[in-house]
Amino acid sequence: MTRKQCMEHYLAAVSDAFEAGVMPRCHLEDITRADFYGFVVPFVNELMKLSEQAGIPVRIRACDTMGYGVPYPEVAIPRSVPGIVYGLQHYSDVPSEMLEWHGHNDFYKAVANASTAWLYGASGVNCSLLGIGERTGNVPLEAMVFEYAGLRGSLDGMDTTVITEIAEYFEHEIGYKIPPMTPFVGSSFNMTRAGIHADGLLKDEEIYNIFDTKKLLGRAATVMLGKTSGLAGIAYWINETYRLSESERIEKHDPIVASLKAWIDKEYEDGRQTSLSAAEVEGKLEELSGGRFRRL
């Protein structure tokens, strides 16, 4: 087919949808590799004409199918996300509420591009839970929840602790393994390995936690115990692992902290290279403390 024939074929299907009283969503696939002014704009103009004649809105979905889009306004179309969103609104009269963005993460720009699409006037962005999708994935829903809060200054009723519940469901019920460094949901996303950072956490959590992760995600900041943890790191680990109340919390000068540190130091003096697992530390702590610390 020629481009003209393709357009006519597509418009005929849209006309049938309008006649059936259906509001169509038209996916502009591979828009970041398309002839924007030569084909996309004239094509969308025809869609908008049909929409006006039918009295039914049409939703336009701009799809960055291969993740080529970039968030910089200086970049030439078709790779410029600002240019695409601006162009569809101003050259094809697509209203903001009928414009949405669908992005892929092939070049690590899925979230940045989605946020840019919002800022330039797309009312919606397509997301998937945990960013799971073809090749490198799509825009993570949990990421855009926090982007929304950052841009708007409000969660508008969203309960962000559900993000942690979703992650737990994926791991425990579906068997999906979340990479530990994944923002917001990975096991290491708010974990520190350095003793000096743990010392800061003990004194004032804002020193070395990115936000109130316990309030917003139900997950307190954590530390990984190893040869650089130090007394403060061990004390913090005990307090958080056993969820000790304010009256029960121990300080880094507690004798049990010193005993546990001595054991850890010896592990590494004897040639250990890996971090300590939670199970190892819990077992040793129970042994050293005579059962003083035991997870309920």
pLDDT digits (tens, 9 = 90+) for 169-193: 999 999 999 998 999 999 889 887 7
| Mean local confidence (pLDDT), 157-174 | 96
Closest among 89, 144, 146, 149 to 121, alpha carbons compared: 89
- Cα 225 to chain centroid distance, Å, stands at 27
Residue boundaries of the structural domains of the chain: 3-126, 191-289
Q: Yes or no: say if 79 and 115 are a contact pair by the CB < 8 Å rule.
A: no
- Cα 178 to chain centroid distance, Å, stands at 12
Residue found by looking up tokens 């393994």 in the block: 177
Q: In this structure, which CATH number among 3.50.50.60, 3.20.80.10, 3.90.180.10, 3.20.20.70 belongs to the domain 3-126?
A: 3.20.20.70
Helix orientation angle between 81-90 and 41-54, rounded to the nearest 10 degrees: 40
Q: Yes or no: say if 125 and 144 are a contact pair by the CB < 8 Å rule.
A: yes
pLDDT value at residue 142: 98
Residue found by looking up tokens 């010193």 in the block: 258
Q: Yes or no: say if 223 and 215 are a contact pair by the CB < 8 Å rule.
A: no
Residue 125's H or E segment, with its range, is strand 124-125
Q: Assign 2 a pLDDT band (cuts: 50, 70, 90).
A: very high
Q: pLDDT (tens digit, 9 = 90+) per residue, 268-291?
A: 999 988 878 878 888 899 888 887
Amino acid symbol at 3: R
Closest among 98, 104, 70 to 84, alpha carbons compared: 70
Q: Which residue has the higher pLDDT, 124 or 208?
A: 124
Residue 128 CA neighbour count, 13 Å, CB half: 15
The two tokens of residue 7 are 């357009």
Q: pLDDT (tens digit, 9 = 90+) per residue, 47-96?
A: 999 999 999 999 999 999 999 999 999 999 999 999 999 999 999 999 99
The two tokens of residue 275 are 């971090």
The two tokens of residue 206 are 């804002």
